[in-house]
Amino acid sequence: MNHFSTYDILSLTTKLEKSLGDISEGEIQMFSYLACILSILDGKSANTWGYSFIKNEFGSPYSEAINSSLESLFTNNSLILDSEYYKINESSSLKLKILSKLGLYKSRETYLEIATNCIKFIPYSSVRKALFCEPSLKIAIKNKNRRLLLDEESASIHLLYSQFEKLTKALAGNYNNKVIPALVWMSYNTKTQLG
Amino acid sequence: MFEEEDEIRQMQEIVKNLYVARIEETYGDEGLRITEELTSAISNIYVHLDRNIFNKIVIIKSLSNNSILKDFRSITRIAQFSILSGKKIIIEILDNNTFNVSIDSCENESIFSNDAIVYLKNETAEYFYIKEDLEELTKIGNLDTYFIKPTFKSLDEALDNYKTSQARTSKCLILRKNVWKGGISSNRVVFKPGPEHIMRDSLFQFLDVYIRGNKEVMREQNVNEKNPIDIRITWNYTNHVALIEIKWIGLSSSGSGYTGKSAITRSNKGAKQLANYLDLFRTEQPEKTTRGYLVVFDGRRNNVVKTDTNVSFADGFHFENKEIVYNPDYSHTRRDFEKPIRFFMEAKY
């Protein structure tokens, strides 16, 4: 079991439970992908995220690591499932509190936090639409086959790195909270002012 | 090079108009943290508060530990917001999940903006106060607010809610403003000519923002090269697709319409059309599991003509419980055809 994807599921479930009440596997896949992209926009390499994503047969970002960690967490009762939506149990919440203090997870916690905070500032449906407009996924959707996303060898990842450089220049270090570049990036990709 | 400069300029323009950036510039990191608490609370309040009742909604959260509203009543359970009414409401969010509320007070909300993050919603737009200036949130489509909580886990649940909460009394602003002859102040007796696309837009917007999960809601999507379905919903992590065909029955101010037998014929034609779309779609995309929904907006009134602006109570509700008989009933003969849904739309009294 990939420990990064396991951590991300626990963290995302806890955060989204507060705003949405519970969380589906699709939502975990979507927000973990968004968090990974936000780490790239913050200057990290896609390779350092700890697990990879593909574009699945339905044209959506999907991580096998997330899927298998989710199954394990459900099997060992760390998550409670109710009609396809998950909630975290008390002992897993405590476990998460301890894990989140470890240096290993600290930086990804920032991106998981920003990804879920976006829906506090703009509508959930706009966050989803913006994610599906990001260059790597947009290019992959045109291809019918399953395809690796955010692949360091592909040309599309360089479009993201280039967006990151422009974003850095545009914001000129004027803002501390990383939700601001995230929202600007989403507006830019959808060609719609969000906020 | 020029292209890159242009893209940077576009990003700078976005950040210039971004309310979250304005708040951080003015109130700092702590201001943004408080805004996050404020916006989360707004989404929760809007699950209960009827936004259409108030001309002005002001929601504030203090930048310090001191509460700001002077003349207020306390609300300890969020569900209590559902019974409030008036013209103007000011709500202060407190730390312990309680609220101070003032209704129809004369206080100008701008006085709070030095000590609190202040959100304002009026009939036309949403704003945040940045000190004494109002920063307007850019409208997204026809959405009346940014702070909607996606509530429904299934399409059936969402359609059922739309039926009672939006269509029944034309609560959705798109319907209320645009679908009835006489607009927002009308008694909802006859439709404007060709109301179908307005009904589609209203339902589209509702489904787009209120259904949970990963789905794409799209309008006027071609089933094949020639045939557009009104709304198509595609789920991103399953092979499920929903096709929604919309029809209206009742009378329009142009004199055309569907009452009496023609309403039944019209609805049955809609069912036939949807059945054809489902067949075409299955041919084009056999790997998808598709369900078809026929939605009929029913504005029928008894004894009205196209120029009427009022209707008696008895005539207005004459068709309330008169269900359409479908022959053939595809919901019985086909596995991909859901039971047709009729949204009865009340007149105003």
| Neighbouring residues of B206: CB distance < 8 A, sequence distance ≥ 6 | B158, B162, B166, B172
- Per-chain mean pLDDT for chain A: 92
Cβ proximity of B347 and B338 under 8 Å: no
B11–A193: do the CB atoms touch at under 8 Å?
Answer: no
Which residue in chain B is spatially nearest to A23 when comparing CA positions? Answer: B213
pTM of the full structure: 0.89
Closest chain B C-alpha to A73 CA, distance in angstroms: 20
Closest partner residue to B15 among A18, A27, A184, by Cβ?
A: A184
- What does the DSSP 8-state code read for residue B21? H
Which long-range contacts link A81-88 to residues 24+ away (Cβ below 8 Å)?
A82/A22, A83/B153, A84/A24, A84/A25, A84/B153, A85/A21, A85/A22, A85/A23, A85/A24, A85/B153, A86/A13, A86/A22, A86/A23, A86/A24, A86/A25, A86/A28, A87/A13, A87/A17, A87/A22, A87/A23, A88/A10, A88/A13, A88/A14, A88/A17
A147: pLDDT confidence band, cut at 50, 70 and 90?
confident
How far from A104 is each of A15, A49, A77, A114, CA to CA, in Å?
19, 11, 24, 18
Q: Show residues of chain B in contact with A128, CB under 8 Å.
A: 214
Q: Residue type for B99, please?
A: F
CA pair distance A49, A61, nearest whole angstrom:
15
A24–B4: do the CB atoms touch at under 8 Å?
Answer: no
A180–B14: do the CB atoms touch at under 8 Å?
Answer: no
CA pair distance A28, B318, nearest whole angstrom:
48
Burial B76-101 (b: 16+ CB within 10 A, else e): eebeebeebeeebbbbbbbeeeebbb
ipTM of the complex: 0.92
CA pair distance B30, B26, nearest whole angstrom:
10
**Given CB atoms, is B149 within the 8 Å cutoff of chain A?**
yes
What is the domain count for chain A? 1
Q: Is A155 exposed, middle or buried (0-12, 13-18, 19+ CB in 10 A)?
A: exposed
Closest partner residue to A171 among B7, B15, B208, by Cβ?
A: B15
Closest chain B C-alpha to A25 CA, distance in angstroms: 9
Which residue in chain A is spatially nearest to B12 when comparing CA positions? Answer: A170
A186: pLDDT confidence band, cut at 50, 70 and 90?
very high
Q: Residue type for B288, please?
A: K
Q: Which of B248, B218, B252 is nearest to B233 (CA)?
A: B218
Q: Show residues of chain A in contact with B25, CB under 8 Å.
A: 174
Please report the pLDDT score of residue B225 as a whole number: 63
Q: What is the pLDDT along chain B (349 residues), one digit of tens a residue?
A: 678 899 999 999 999 999 999 999 999 999 999 999 999 999 999 999 999 899 999 999 999 988 999 889 999 999 999 999 999 999 999 988 899 999 998 888 999 999 999 999 999 999 999 999 999 999 988 888 999 988 888 899 999 999 999 999 999 889 999 999 999 999 999 999 999 999 999 999 999 999 987 788 998 877 766 678 999 999 888 889 999 999 999 999 998 899 989 999 999 999 999 999 999 999 988 989 999 999 999 999 999 999 999 999 999 999 999 999 999 999 999 999 999 999 999 999 9
Q: Tell me which residue range forms the domain holding A31.
A: 3-194
Please report the pLDDT score of residue B93 as a whole number: 97
| Neighbouring residues of B272: CB distance < 8 A, sequence distance ≥ 6 | none
A60–B214: do the CB atoms touch at under 8 Å?
Answer: yes
- Within 286-345 of B, beta carbons closer than 8 Å to A belong to none
Residue B2's CB is within 10 A of a number of other CB atoms, namely 6
Q: Tell me the H-state helices in B17-167.
A: 19-48, 155-162
